[in-house]
Amino acid sequence: MSLSGKVSLVTGAGSGIGRSCAIQLAQEGADLALWGRTESKLAATGAEITRLGRECRWYPVDVTDIHGIPEAVQTTRTECGEVDILVNSAGVNIPQNAEDVTAEAWDTIMDTNVKGLFFCCQAVAKQSMIPRKTGVIVNISSQAGKVALPLRAAYCSSKGAVDQLTRVLALEWAEHNIRVNAVAPTFVETPFTAKMLSDRKFRDYVMNKIPLRRLAKPEDVAAAVSFLASDRSSMITGAVIPVDGGWTIH
């Protein structure tokens, strides 16, 4: 198993893509630390990982509480060991017409998707990765970082920022042997998209934009994440890999 003996920290691990990534990494031999806001959802993911025979602990951490992140990383390191792999999946979207976007919605999206993600990278790199001169970070971006999507002024801005952040961190931390990459999925069937995809018109619009004519599954994203987390991608850093069935090629 390619990730045997590695400790992976996954944010937003209670549901959707984060949950699927955590399980995939465990299937490849990693032990897991799960972060998220809702303890019961983290515990459910944790139970699946324990059944796979891997070590797993979970921590209720809100990534927008940026001053609490260094201490949460410290606790995670003490109880789980040094973090080898960080997957940043915690994220939010609040669909609104551009003319109706409120300052509160803008801040919630940016604070979670960009600021929280950045300070998770910073704390894990500083405490676990830079001192040991090794580490892998995978950010869950979105096709929204590259193409415009209606009702998503703040969300698209946040994912564009994640793409740029990924490249800057890859450049700065290459000297510490830390690789930083991102994956950029199209619409994935998760609790995040359940309501919007239940609208037939919207679902048809999405399907027509995807040349492969299907929505992504959380497992499609997890497969790309596990590749980027493993040594199979040891020459890849600063990349944003689309997992979009071809949406962004036309």
Ligand X SMILES: NC(=O)c1ccc[n+]([C@@H]2O[C@H](COP(=O)([O-])OP(=O)(O)OC[C@H]3O[C@@H](n4cnc5c(N)ncnc54)[C@H](O)[C@@H]3O)[C@@H](O)[C@H]2O)c1
Question: CA-CA distances (angstroms) from residue 46 to 7, 9, 73?
Answer: 14, 12, 18
Single out the residue of 24, 112, 181, 230 in contact with ligand X (rule: CB under 6 A): 112
DSSP, res 217: -
Measured CA to CA, the distance from residue 141 to residue 241 in angstroms comes to 9
Q: Among residues 119 and 173, whose Cβ is nearest to ligand X?
A: 119
The stretch among 6-14, 50-58, 168-176, 198-206 that binds ligand X (CB under 6 A) is 6-14
Give residues with Cβ within 8 angstroms of 161, minimum separation 6: 110, 113, 114, 145
Q: Which of 35, 58, 59, 155 is catalytic?
A: 155
Q: Which of 3, 7, 9, 17 touches ligand X by CB under 6 A?
A: 17
Pattern of binders to ligand X over 35-74, x per CB under 6 A? -xxx--x--------------------xxx----------
Residue 5 beta carbon to ligand X: minimum distance, rounded to whole angstroms:
27
185 binds ligand X (CB under 6 A): yes
24 binds ligand X (CB under 6 A): no
Residue 190 touching ligand X (CB under 6 A): yes
Nearer to ligand X, 135 or 145 (CB): 145
- CB distance 13 to 19 below 8 Å: yes
Q: Which is nearer to ligand X, 140 or 240 (CB)?
A: 140
Tell me the backbone φ, ψ of residue 47, rounded to 5 degrees.
-65, -40
Give the nearer residue to ligand X in terms of CB position, either 66 or 130: 66
Distance in angstroms (rounded) separating the CA atoms of residues 179 and 47: 30
Residue of 128, 142, 233, 237 that binds ligand X (CB under 6 A): 142
Residue from 76, 193, 230, 233 touching ligand X (CB under 6 A): that is 193
Beta carbon of residue 195, minimum distance to ligand X (angstroms, whole number): 11
Q: In what order do the strands lie in the sheet with 56-60?
A: 56-60, 31-36, 7-11, 85-88, 135-140, 178-185, 240-243
Q: Mark whether 205 is an active-site residue.
A: no
- Choose, by CB under 6 A, the member of 89, 181, 226, 237 that binds ligand X: 89
Nearest-angstrom CA–CA distance, 25 and 29: 7
Q: In this structure, are residues 151 and 95 in contact, taking their beta carbons and an 8 Å threshold?
A: yes
Bridging pattern class, strands 56-60 and 178-185: unpaired
Among residues 5, 150, 191, 246, which is the contact residue for ligand X, using CB under 6 A? 191
Backbone angles phi, psi at 198, to 5 degrees: -80, -10
**Catalytic residue list:** 155
Residues at the site binding ligand X, with contacts judged by CB under 6 A: 11-12, 14-18, 36-38, 41, 62-64, 89-92, 112, 116, 140, 142, 185, 187-188, 190-193
